[in-house]
Amino acid sequence: MFKASLMPWYNGTFPPSYKNLLEKLRTKAVEIANEVLLNGAPEGIAIATGLKRAREYFEKKKPVKKERKHNM
What pLDDT does residue 62 have? Answer: 76
Residue 63: band (very low, low, confident or very high) from pLDDT cuts 50, 70, 90: confident
Residue 31 lies in a domain: yes
Tally of domains within the chain: 1
Averaged pLDDT, 57-61: 90
Would you give the distance in Å from CA 68 to the centre of its chain?
A: 33
Whether the predicted model's global pTM rises above the 0.85 cut: no
- Containing structural domain, residue 46: 18-58
Q: Is residue 2 part of a domain?
A: no
Span 9-30, pLDDT tens digits: 887 889 999 999 999 999 999 9
Q: List all residues 6 or more positions away from 15 whose beta carbon is below 8 Å from its beta carbon.
A: 9, 30, 33, 47
In a domain, 68, yes or no: no
Would residue 36 count as lying in a domain?
A: yes
67 located within any domain? no
Helices (H), the chain: 23-38, 43-61
